[in-house]
A and B are shown apart, each in its own frame.
Chain A
């Protein structure tokens, strides 16, 4: 390559650098605002911020207990339902790669990933909320499971795909059948990828709001551990509170957003312990 001091080269480099910086400013601004606006709310309220139920409009600056409990429940339910389905489907796609069913499932899973998540909420509303005549945490958990499945599945399937063929061949050479090759050769070799896939699914489910709009009922006046009853979640609380005209609600929304961000950061960093690149 000739000299990079060429004026046109320099001009292009400057444009690229400026546009890139502009593109990255929002993420810095978001983190900055979360800390500046959210932290005082949490430190001011102390532990009560997390343990109490929803405040009256214009009243106090704490009380996301129901949302925190709901978010934990939702994470557990969606993981319990979504992960086994994603894992075994990933194994199917990979071990029976040449079969038609595997190709169909793969295409459908990829399409499911690009479907607006609000539609998943509508689906679960019709399938569960209407027949049971009540909003419930479990309905929200099932909606989130549907959202996380394609992500976890894709990641697990890709990491199984990276297992070198010589190991798979060696497995068959030893007289193993497909099941043994899958669970004794491929999954153990790709176990980091499997764990990452699970964590990515949880991270995805944790931050979703739209699938919860018509499923969990935004019940925030009592702390409720029963998943068959209505409940709340942190993203949903932020969505509702920030649209409130009351300042205390908006402040709580910022505090909750910081909590959500910290949860996200913890999950994200634990994924980074396993892999360098994280695609959520």
Chain B
């Protein structure tokens, strides 16, 4: 093998000539971390950990003001949870449909459609969300649920404009369905032929066969769920258009709310007029970056484990 001999001089020069390009990518992530930390330091010093635990938003031009990111943090978690709860069964259904129920010709058609969904500019989802999904949810879905089962605290408040945690969660679910689908399908298609044959031989019917195969990619399902959660938590403009942008903390999903990224999108331009507000928003960004990286790390690890499980057999 070539690799065992010491690299000749030319190869070293080649590596060094490629390094400047790669270092841009490394520098981007490191700079992002440093700048977010540096710019959020004033807010972290002023408010301490309370910045992430309190719900208050009182900007002042002549003083530090009072800020707490609890409402947007909860809003981020709530919308992302709603999104994955809806998206996971949907993408799993699409997986079973395309992989186990369709002839090749149809399957290609549906996969193409899903690829289009995945690539569609997010602003188009936002536009559709505010103009089509919200009126639909408000008139046909929310008021119905509220009237029939409004005793459940989650559904207890009167739906007003339609802009709400629920609308954001549903729009996000639509956006991450193709994303999760692609991840789990990739693992599904790497199930080795020997296992597929075993599944055919030992299952007593189609249902058992499918269940067995899905069981084999369980870690990838969890990984796709985490990566989908991360995607949903970081989405900005589409959410900013449908969530209603309110700091009011409510247990009801028909009420408007905020997420960290939609807060940044809405307030960043004004934040220059208030001494600590931009620093607070950067702290929100730091929160997004660290949760995003953690989710990504865990998700990728799970998906790898799923592949290994299959290959080990």
Are A and B subunits of one complex?
Answer: yes
Chain A 157-181 interface 0/1 with B at a Cβ cutoff of 8 Å (1 = within): 0000000000000001000011100
Other-chain residue from B35, B89, B93 in contact with A127 (beta carbon distance below 8 A) = B35
Q: Mark B266-289, 1 if CB is under 8 A from A, else 0.
A: 001100000000000110010011
Contact segment of A47-55, A91-99, A185-193: A91-99
In the complex, what distance in Å separates the CA atom of A124 from the CA atom of B31?
A: 10
On chain A, the residues within 8 Å of B6 by CB distance are none
Pairwise interchain contact A84-B123, C-beta atoms closer than 8 A = no
Least CB separation from B94: chain A residue = A20
Question: Are A114 and B231 in contact, with the CB atoms below 8 A?
Answer: yes
Across the A-B interface, how many residue pairs have beta carbons closer than 8 Å?
267
Contact bitstring A221-240, B, C-beta under 8 A = 1, else 0: 00000000000000100110
Residues in B whose Cβ lies below 8 Å from that of A150: 25
Determine whether the beta carbon of A23 is less than 8 Å from that of B90: yes
> Is the Cβ of A123 less than 8 Å from the Cβ of B32?
yes
B313 contacts chain A at the CB level, 8 A cutoff:
no
Given the known A-B contacts A99-B15, A123-B31, A260-B121, are A85 and B25 also in contact in the complex, defined by CB atoms under 8 Å? Answer: yes
Contact A119 B231 (CB under 8 A): no
**A19-B90, A146-B28 as given contacts; A117 in contact with B236, CB under 8 Å:** yes
Stretch at the interface among B49-57, B111-119, B139-147, B216-224: B111-119
Across the interface, do B209 and A279 meet the contact criterion of CB distance under 8 Å?
A: no
> Shortest beta-carbon distance, B207 to chain A, in Å?
5
Q: Chain B contact residues (Cβ within 8 angstroms of A): what range?
A: 35 or more
Stretch at the interface among B127-135, B151-159, B247-255: B127-135
- In A254-270, which residues have CB < 8 Å from any B CB? 254, 257, 260-261, 264, 268
Q: Is B3 interfacial (CB 8 A cutoff)?
A: yes
* Contact yes or no, A214 B261, CB < 8 A: no
Say yes or no: is B246 at the interface (Cβ < 8 Å to chain A): no
User: Hey, which chain A residues are within 8 Å of B8, CB to CB?
Assistant: 177
Cα-based distance from A115 to B117 in the complex (angstroms): 20
Which one of B7, B36, B125, B241 contacts A122 once the chains associate, using CB atoms below 8 Å? B36
Indicate if B26 sits at the interface (CB-CB under 8 A): yes
Chain A, range 1-52, C-beta contacts under 8 Å to B: 1-4, 6, 8-9, 12-13, 15-17, 19-20, 22-24, 26-27, 29-30, 33-34, 37
Chain A positions within 8 Å of B133 at CB level: 26
Partner of A209, one of B28, B32, B236, B292: B236
B269 partner residues in chain A, CB cutoff 8 A: 213-214
Considering the chains assembled together, what is the distance between the CA atoms of A124 and B18 in angstroms?
Answer: 24
The answer to whether A112 and B124 have CB atoms under 8 Å apart is no
Question: Is the Cβ of A257 less than 8 Å from the Cβ of B127?
Answer: yes
User: Which residues of the other chain, A, contact B14 by a CB distance below 8 angstroms?
Assistant: 95, 177-179, 182
Cα A8 to Cα B97 in complex, Å, equals: 16
B2 within 8 Å of A (CB atoms): yes
CB distance from A165 to the nearest CB of B (A): 11
What's the nearest-Cβ distance from chain B to residue A168, in Å?
9
B124/A6 in contact, CB under 8 A:
no
Note all chain B residues with C-beta closer than 8 A to A207: 119-124
A198 within 8 A of B: no
B193 touches A (CB below 8 Å): no
CB pair B10 A179 closer than 8 Å: yes
Cβ-defined contact, A268 with B116, below 8 A: yes
The answer to whether B103 has its CB under 8 Å from any CB of chain A is no
Q: Name the B residues within 8 Å of A26 (CB-CB).
A: 117, 128, 133, 174
Chain A residues, Cβ within 8 Å of B121: 206-209, 235, 260-261, 264
Chain B residues contacting A33 (CB-CB under 8 Å) are 128, 131-132
A119 and B285 in contact, given A91-B18, A179-B11 (Cβ under 8 angstroms): yes
Q: A33-B128, A92-B19 in contact; A116/B236 too (CB < 8 A)?
A: yes
Q: Are B120 and A257 in contact (CB under 8 A)?
A: no
Inter-chain contact B182/A279, CB cutoff 8 Å: yes
Q: List 8 A-B contacts (CB under 8 A).
A: A6-B205, A26-B117, A111-B29, A114-B230, A116-B235, A119-B289, A122-B264, A122-B268
Known: A110-B300, A122-B268. 6 other contacts (CB 8 A): A20-B110, A114-B296, A204-B119, A209-B237, A235-B121, A277-B111
Q: Give the interface of B toward A (CB within 8 A).
A: 2-3, 7-8, 10-11, 14-15, 18-19, 21-22, 24-26, 28-29, 31-32, 35-36, 39, 89-91, 93-94, 96-97, 101, 108, 110-128, 130-133, 174, 177, 182, 200, 203-207, 209-210, 227, 230-231, 233-237, 240-241, 261, 264-265, 268-269, 281-282, 285, 288-289, 292-293, 295-297, 300
The 8 closest A-B pairs by CB, nearest first: A207-B121, A116-B234, A280-B119, A19-B93, A88-B21, A92-B18, A210-B236, A23-B90
